[in-house]
Amino acid sequence: MELLKGIRSIFIKALVCIMIISSLAACQSGNNSKQTSTSVNAVTSSPKSSTEITSTGSGQTIDQKVSDLLAKMTLDEKVGQMMQPTRDRLPASDIKKYFIGSVLSGGGSHPGNNTKEDWIQMCTDYQNAAKSTRLGIPIIYGIDAVHGHNTIYGAVVFPQNIGLGAAQDPELMTEIGNVTAQEMITSGVNWDFGPCIAVARDERWGRTYESYSESPDIVSSMCAPFIKALQANGITACAKHYVADGGAMFGVAGNKYPIDQGNAVISEDELRKIHLPGYEAAIKAGAKTIMASFSSWNGVKMHENKYLITDVLKGELGFKGFVVSDYEAVHQLKEGNLSNQVIACINSGVDMLMEPNHWKEIIGIIKDAVNSGKISKARLDDAVARILKVKFEMGLFENPLGDQKLAAGDFGEEKNREVAQKAVRESLVLLKNQKNVLPLKKNAKIFVAGPAANNVGIQCGGWTKTWQGGMDKNGSKWMEGTTILEGFQNMAKENGGTIITDPNKAKDADVTVLVIGEKPYAEYEGDDSKLDLYNGMALPENKKAIDEAKAAGKPIVTILISGRPRIVTNEINSWDAFVAAWLPGTEGAAITDVLYGDYDFTGKLSFTWPKSVGQLPINVDAMNGKDPLFPFGFGLKMKK
Ligand code: BGC
């Protein structure tokens, strides 16, 4: 088996090398032919191939390389760099035709059958097209690798950020950054739309799980090592969503959705104290890109907040990378017509536009605006120079597909899964343990119940294979991985224990383990006004399982699989132990390592756990006399 794996890995590496070599050969010939192409007409200085540019660049500082290159660019070439269409609507020939600077995979978007070879082929085609343009500027390809390289079936999927905020282990964040980067390089993409450094302040928000914590300190200390690790591997990081995306509250009038993309009605003092520190930490860690937020601050959309983007981010905080807009966010600006929206957005300091549908039209808009002076030449050049600088700094000219020496042999390698298993163990928070029901005895008879007990898709949540994620169905797993039930079954098999799943036999058990949770969701789809165990994003089968567990009449250990605290104030009285497992990802079986006592619990709440939804917002630095169910920082150990 091992031998087979080895041969397979060598074969795949060889294939990738062949693809890259042929890609470089194609680049070379592309460059040569492009020098005589018609797009040269508009250029003032004599055209140079990409090889010449990189070679004249040797010995120069990056800033010199950037200004040299910029000086050679036509208006079309500059505006093209600022565009980011989506892969599914972008033939490689359009890259060449429009000098496109970036491409993205929207949530779940993948080439062919989503195999490593499909990805390498697509990225090679795009990079070849880019290299075959007159100036041969490589593409920066963005994807949401927000808990591992989660778009790819077979990739290692880590706990969502909320679980990593509970783990509070900066070294683990470095390991996760390394694995994520290596799996990304395996597919040939070079830009991660992460980390999300939102400081979520209202758990009704569908993106709470993308947030490490309600506390800016935890957000800062988790994001910095992750950014450093990604970028040390040549993957560009993108801190998002600038700024105060987590500051919107439920029910604020004028929002498109109940809370997502909403309006943060907060003072500048609060914005600076709570939501800005993550960006200071990200910039200090070297983050090269930042994504603007869909949301507003006191009624002004972030995408047109010149004060926050240009004055504060680029000025005061000294951010030298580039700012990318969020998916079609420009179209939400108050100006109403696309032309004025784009002008307002770029003049506010956004440098690149994520535009799946309107990019061709927007190219025309920007060109007209530059020609008429509505966007200054200086602003245009600043945007393009920032993009080029990141491409130079990240080594894209040398390694457009990433440094393949750093690639993982394949997706989901065992050693990388072990990092995720460690992350799962560290992310668990023990909130109640009456009469020491935990740790479980390894030879115990255990009734494992509940809709989240045997479902990798539920464990992973949103941003897994697809934008919204999905559930295991008809015996087929949404993602390769292990379930919590499988963890129990393995442990019992090795130690003479018994696992019961039939509710009719529940009474034979010594203890019941009840695993309830939430459906997978992402963004506004996850906004939830009640946060109880039965409505909104709660799994509809929770109720039946809770009742079955009670009926069994044995001690109950409840594990909650959720992207945020949910209200358990009544139910917890009938549970002997309660574990918040967040959204642990593909390595569900690692939960049982802790439940059986091979490891102790170390996780601490990075969010205050409310008693009722009426207590929201409830945050450690703004308790206003409210008494939560569990305070921020709470987390028990089994061993005294
Ligand atoms: C999300 C971003 C994401 C982008 C690209 C948007 O809907 O708000 O977080 O990076 O899509 O997938």
CATH code, domain carrying 450: 3.40.50.1700
pLDDT of residue 39: 25
Last residue of a domain, one of 406, 435, 465: 406
Is the N-terminal amide bond of 439 cis, ω within 30° of 0? Answer: yes
pLDDT of residue 46: 29
Which of 20 and 495 is assigned the larger pLDDT? Answer: 495
- The rounded percent of the chain whose pLDDT value lies above 90 is 89
Q: What is the mean pLDDT of residues 446-462?
A: 98
Residue 47 belongs to a domain? no
Structure tokens at 630: 């569990």
DSSP structure class, residue 239: E
Sign (positive/negative) of CA torsion 255, 256, 257, 259? Answer: negative
Residue among 196, 327, 353, 465 whose CB has most ligand 1 atoms within 8 A, to mutate: 327
Among the residue ranges 22-31, 113-122, 412-421, the one predicted with the least confidence is 22-31
Residue 187 belongs to a domain? yes
Mark out the alpha helices in 553-601 (DSSP H runs): 590-595
| Model confidence at 41: pLDDT above 80 | no
197, 282 in Cβ contact below 8 A? yes
Last residue of a domain, one of 388, 406, 424: 406
- The rounded percent of the chain whose pLDDT value lies above 70 is 91
420, 413 in Cβ contact below 8 A? no
Choice among 94, 326, 518, 532 that is catalytic: 326
Q: How many CA atoms lie less than 13 Å away from 158 in the CB half-sphere?
A: 35
| Model confidence at 638: pLDDT above 80 | yes
pLDDT of residue 611: 98
525 assigned to active site = no
Residue 255 belongs to a domain? yes
Q: Give per-residue pLDDT as tens, 575-594.
A: 999 999 999 999 999 999 99
Domains identified in the chain, total number: 2
237, 189 in Cβ contact below 8 A? no
pLDDT of residue 252: 86
Q: What is the C-alpha radius of gyration for the chain, rounded to an integer number of angstroms? A: 25
| Model confidence at 20: pLDDT above 70 | no
Residue 371 belongs to a domain? yes
| Model confidence at 161: pLDDT above 90 | yes
Q: Give per-residue pLDDT as tens, 167-207.
A: 999 999 999 999 999 999 999 999 999 999 999 999 999 99
CATH code, domain carrying 78: 3.20.20.300
| Model confidence at 28: pLDDT above 50 | no
Residues 473 and 509 occupy one common structural domain: yes
C-alpha dihedral, 456 to 461 to 464 to 465, nearest 10°: 70
CB of 327 within 6 A of ligand 1: the answer is: yes
Residue 633 belongs to a domain? no
CA 606/CA 215 separation, integer angstroms: 7
326 assigned to active site = yes
CB of 144 within 6 A of ligand 1: the answer is: yes
Ligand 1 centroid from CA 10, angstroms = 35
Mark out the alpha helices in 233-348 (DSSP H runs): 268-270, 277-284, 306, 338-348
Q: How many CA atoms lie less than 13 Å away from 331 in the CB half-sphere?
A: 10
Domain range for 66: 60-406
Structure tokens at 83: 């565009």
CA 247/CA 256 separation, integer angstroms: 15
Which amino acid residue places its CA nearest to atom 5 of ligand 1? 106
Residue 64 belongs to a domain? yes
DSSP structure class, residue 307: I
CA-to-CA separations, 634 to 160, 204, 359, 608, in angstroms, rounded:
19, 21, 48, 8
Residues 264 and 333 occupy one common structural domain: yes
pLDDT of residue 58: 67
Which amino acid residue places its CA nearest to atom 6 of ligand 1? 327
CA-closest candidate to residue 127, choices 423, 437, 400, 435: 400
Residues 367 and 220 occupy one common structural domain: yes
Residues 392 and 334 occupy one common structural domain: yes
Q: Give per-residue pLDDT as tens, 59-74.
A: 899 999 999 999 999 9
Place of tokens 């010995």: 59
Among the residue ranges 52-56, 289-293, 371-375, 416-420, the one predicted with the least confidence is 52-56
Ligand 1 atom at minimal distance to the Cα of residue 241: 9
Residues 446 and 481 occupy one common structural domain: yes
Q: Give per-residue pLDDT as tens, 257-288.
A: 999 999 999 999 999 999 999 999 999 999 99
End-to-end alpha carbon distance in the chain: 43
| Model confidence at 124: pLDDT above 90 | yes
Residues 464 and 397 occupy one common structural domain: no
Residue 98 belongs to a domain? yes
Q: Hey, which residues does 607 pair with through a beta bridge?
A: none
CB of 240 within 6 A of ligand 1: the answer is: yes
CA-to-CA separations, 403 to 57, 102, 117, 394, in angstroms, rounded:
20, 19, 16, 11
Residues 444 and 329 occupy one common structural domain: no
Residues 380 and 463 occupy one common structural domain: no
Residue 620 belongs to a domain? no
Helix and strand counts by DSSP (H, E) for the chain: 20, 17
Whole-model pTM: value is 0.92
CA 336/CA 370 separation, integer angstroms: 20
Residues 74 and 100 occupy one common structural domain: yes
**pLDDT-based confidence at 256, cuts 50/70/90?**
confident
> How many CB atoms are closer than 10 A to CB 422?
20
Ligand 1 atom at minimal distance to the Cα of residue 238: 10
CA 621/CA 638 separation, integer angstroms: 28
Residue among 104, 144, 245, 527 whose CB has most ligand 1 atoms within 8 A, to mutate: 144
Residues 286 and 167 occupy one common structural domain: yes
CB of 303 within 6 A of ligand 1: the answer is: no
Choice among 523, 532, 571, 587 that is catalytic: 523
CA 189/CA 401 separation, integer angstroms: 6
CA-closest candidate to residue 530, choices 200, 201, 203, 162: 203
Ligand 1 centroid from CA 327, angstroms = 6
Ligand 1 centroid from CA 291, angstroms = 9
**pLDDT-based confidence at 243, cuts 50/70/90?**
very high
| Model confidence at 338: pLDDT above 50 | yes
CB of 193 within 6 A of ligand 1: the answer is: yes
CA-closest candidate to residue 291, choices 347, 338, 349: 349
DSSP structure class, residue 35: T
pLDDT of residue 497: 98
Residues 430 and 368 occupy one common structural domain: no
**pLDDT-based confidence at 255, cuts 50/70/90?**
confident
Last residue of a domain, one of 343, 374, 406: 406
**pLDDT-based confidence at 138, cuts 50/70/90?**
very high
CA 137/CA 160 separation, integer angstroms: 34
Residues 201 and 73 occupy one common structural domain: yes
CA-to-CA separations, 114 to 121, 122, 154, 191, 411, in angstroms, rounded:
11, 11, 10, 18, 11
What average pLDDT does the structure give for the chain?
A: 92
CA 24/CA 580 separation, integer angstroms: 49
